[in-house]
Amino acid sequence: MNLKPWWGAALLGALWLALAGQAQGQAEPLETLRAERQAAESRDMARLETLLEDGEALQAALDEAREAHADVEARHMTLQAGEAELTERRATLEARQAEQGDDLSALLGVLARHSGELRDALADSWLTVGGPALPPRLDDAEVLARSHLETLGDALMALTAETGRVVRLTAPVADASGEIAPREVVRLGDMMAFSDGALLRRGAGEGTLATLERTPPDVARRLAAFQAGESETLVLDPTRGKVIAALAQRPDLTERFHQGGAVGYVVVGLGGLGLLVALVQYAYLLRVSWAMRRQRRDLTRLREDNPLGRVLLRFRTLADEPVPEALEARLDEAVLAELPRLERGQSLVKLLAAVAPLLGLLGTVLGMIVTFQAITVYGTGDPQLMAGGISQALVTTVLGLITAVPLLFAHTALAARSRQLACVVEGQASEALADRLEGRGSHDTHRGSDDHARALA
């Protein structure tokens, strides 16, 4: 059976189908465009028929078209006039630039550079707070004009005059809590500005001022008095705030105390305890001194509110002691019993006076350890990293010495007062003992003379 005619017919049929599909795919966009064109023509014919039937609508459409055409014509004329003006200006600038030559072009470049540098230098200046405007930038200027020189000269003269003025103005100021409110500000030329005794600095926002973290108390008092009109004395910092900022960073006594750390707290606590004990004991010794003076004025009425009265009362109970040595020993025992009360607290005060410098030395060693650790980690490039350890080392030493000195004075005062009272008690007791022994000896001698005379008789 021969299959070649059949294969040929099949191939011809497949080719015919492919060509028919391609023709149909190309006919679809044509049909779409044809349909859209017919729809647009239908709309236009319907609108035209409507306008032909309605004369007023046709006339309104014509008027609208005429107005639109007139607007387009006017705009076209304006654009042509602007183009002509720009062309003329360009020609004028080219002519002026050609006349000026390279010298004036170089002068314009120098002027533009200096104007930009001046604006950059005065961007953070106090002159911009309530002062004249800065000179404009001339980077976009193509040709040097007379107005450029006049504007720059006037700006320089105004800024120079502003440096010698004291200006009062109202500006938004941010306080330490971050709250911004309008406040009266006094500006001293280009040096500094302050408000209500607080020095100001430039804030984060444009045109916003902020108070410094800390103003020295003396400076704040003088500035507040000057602003209120109560004084003509004014604090000036020729370094534009650097000296006052350094003074503001100087810590006060409270901050110095906190720099000592835990060792400093311990030293001051022990010093306070020692002084309290010394004051209490010294007050007790003063009361005892007053009581003993009253007792010495009247030895016939012995009282138990003072050591002298108690010792003498004890001595009277021992008057019948037959042995003088035993009587003296009992009297010494009574005197020694009063000494602990008179010397109470002295040992503690002396101990704290000796321990305080040692604790200060301990704080010094700990501070140096912290300093060397900072050097090991961060190096020696930033001295502020070592300032904490050095401050602790020095402050603890100072606190130890400051604590030890008054404790030594307190111990000396207590020891002198107690020794004086003990000497008075011992002296009065010895006097009483001597009077008792002398009286007993004279009585025994008189009794022996009577016995001898009786024997002779």
DSSP labels, 244-264: HHHHHTS--HHHHHHHTHHHH
Which residue, of 139, 163, 187, is where some domain finishes? 163
pLDDT of 169 reads 84
Which residue, of 222, 249, 276, is where some domain finishes? 249
Percent of the chain whose pLDDT exceeds 70: 75
Percent of the chain whose pLDDT exceeds 90: 7
pLDDT of 352 reads 92
124, 193 Cβ separation under 8 angstroms: no
3 state DSSP class of 380:
coil
Give how far Cα 45 sits from Cα of 52, 54, 58, 61, 282, Å: 10, 14, 14, 15, 125
Residue 265 and residue 235 in one domain: no
| Residues 199-214, mean pLDDT to the nearest whole number | 73
Both tokens assigned to 433: 């003992």
Flag the least confident range among 64-68, 93-97, 123-127.
Answer: 93-97
pLDDT of 79 reads 87
Q: Is 174 left (phi over 0), alpha (psi -120 to 50) or beta?
A: beta
Neighbours of 173 (CB within 10 A): 22
pLDDT of 33 reads 75
Cβ neighbors of 196 (< 8 A, separation 6 or more) are: 183, 184, 224, 227
Taking the C-alpha atoms of 390, 392, 394 and 399 in order, what is their torsion angle to the nearest 10 degrees?
Answer: 180
Whole-number average pLDDT of the chain:
75
Range of the domain at 199: 164-249
pTM: 0.52
Which residue, of 223, 249, 275, is where some domain finishes? 249
CA-to-CA distance for 221 and 112, rounded, in angstroms?
45
Please check whether residue 284 lies inside any domain of the structure: yes
Residue 320 and residue 309 in one domain: yes
Flag the least confident range among 121-135, 143-157, 312-326.
Answer: 312-326
Residue 106 and residue 174 in one domain: no
What is the band of 114 on the pLDDT scale with cuts at 50, 70, 90? Answer: confident
| Residues 168-176, mean pLDDT to the nearest whole number | 82
Residue labelled with tokens 């404009």: 136
CA-closest candidate to residue 264, choices 352, 354, 360, 349: 360
| Residues 285-297, mean pLDDT to the nearest whole number | 85
Q: Is 448 left (phi over 0), alpha (psi -120 to 50) or beta?
A: alpha
CA-to-CA distance for 138 and 152, rounded, in angstroms?
10
Please check whether residue 21 lies inside any domain of the structure: no
Domain count, the chain: 3
Is the torsion defined by CA of 29, 34, 38, 43 positive or negative? positive
Residue 95 and residue 153 in one domain: yes
Please check whether residue 319 lies inside any domain of the structure: yes
Residue 144 pLDDT exceeds 70: no
Taking the C-alpha atoms of 253, 395, 260 and 213 in order, what is their torsion angle to the nearest 10 degrees?
Answer: 40
Residue 142 and residue 181 in one domain: no
pLDDT of 426 reads 81
| Residues 222-227, mean pLDDT to the nearest whole number | 84
Q: What percent helix, strand, coil does the chain show, rounded to 5?
A: 75, 5, 20
Residue 148 pLDDT exceeds 80: no
Cβ neighbors of 359 (< 8 A, separation 6 or more) are: 263, 266, 267, 270, 396, 400
3 state DSSP class of 204:
coil
Residue 264 and residue 373 in one domain: yes
Flag the least confident range among 2-11, 72-81, 145-154, 180-189.
Answer: 2-11
Residue 284 one-letter amino acid: Y
Q: pLDDT tens for residues 29-72? A: 667 877 887 887 787 777 777 766 666 766 777 778 888 888 88
More confident residue, 413 or 442: 413
Q: pLDDT tens for residues 253-277? A: 777 777 778 888 899 899 999 999 9
More confident residue, 353 or 48: 353
Residue 150 and residue 189 in one domain: no
Please check whether residue 336 lies inside any domain of the structure: yes
| Residues 347-369, mean pLDDT to the nearest whole number | 88
Please check whether residue 20 lies inside any domain of the structure: no
Q: pLDDT tens for residues 10-29? A: 444 545 445 455 545 555 66
* Helix extents (H) in 343-383: 346-378
Residue 285 and residue 418 in one domain: yes
381, 253 Cβ separation under 8 angstroms: no
Please check whether residue 402 lies inside any domain of the structure: yes
Residue 359 and residue 442 in one domain: yes
Residue 203 pLDDT exceeds 70: no
| Residues 83-109, mean pLDDT to the nearest whole number | 71
Residue 410 and residue 274 in one domain: yes
Residue 169 and residue 159 in one domain: no
Please check whether residue 30 lies inside any domain of the structure: no
Give how far Cα 429 sits from Cα of 328, 413, 432, Å: 9, 24, 5
Both tokens assigned to 317: 């109970």
Q: pLDDT tens for residues 363-417? A: 888 888 877 777 777 776 666 666 666 777 788 888 889 999 999 999 999 999 8
Residue 145 and residue 169 in one domain: no
Residue 249 pLDDT exceeds 70: no
Please check whether residue 45 lies inside any domain of the structure: no
